[in-house]
Amino acid sequence: METDEGQSTMGMIGCQARELAVWDAMLNDNYLLLEDATSATEFQALRDVQVKWIAYRDAKCGWPAVFFEGGTIAGPLAAACLNDMTARRANELADYLDWTQN
């Protein structure tokens, strides 16, 4: 959003997509590290939760498209939701990873 292109709806979504890629990589890294740091039972439970979390995230972040059907704000709101939820989950998994090391 630091350039003129970032002021448009597509520019905002593009900026948020680049940020999401960073959070998603962090989430995936933490998830894979937890596979090595936990027991098979613990990791299976995490996997089950993660599948449900992804479904919840996708449903929640899809809500703006329904609520603002046809409106230009739907895309930026959905992208912001994905960023927020993915960042929070990446940090949650980082906390669990820290706890395995203490």
pLDDT digits (tens, 9 = 90+) for 54-76: 999 999 999 998 999 888 888 89
Cβ-based neighbours of 38, under 8 Å, separated by 6 or more: 46, 100
Residue 31: the pLDDT is 98
Is residue 35 a contact partner of residue 44, using CB atoms and an 8 Å limit? Answer: no
Residue 1: the pLDDT is 45
- Mean residue pLDDT across the chain: 92
Residue type, position 76, single letter: P
Residue 102: the pLDDT is 77
Confidence of residue 32 (pLDDT cuts 50, 70, 90): very high
Q: For the chain, what are the domain ranges?
A: 20-100
**Tens digit of each residue's pLDDT (9 = 90 or more) over 2-12:** 554 557 878 88
User: In whole angstroms, what is the distance from residue 53 CA to residue 26 CA?
Assistant: 16
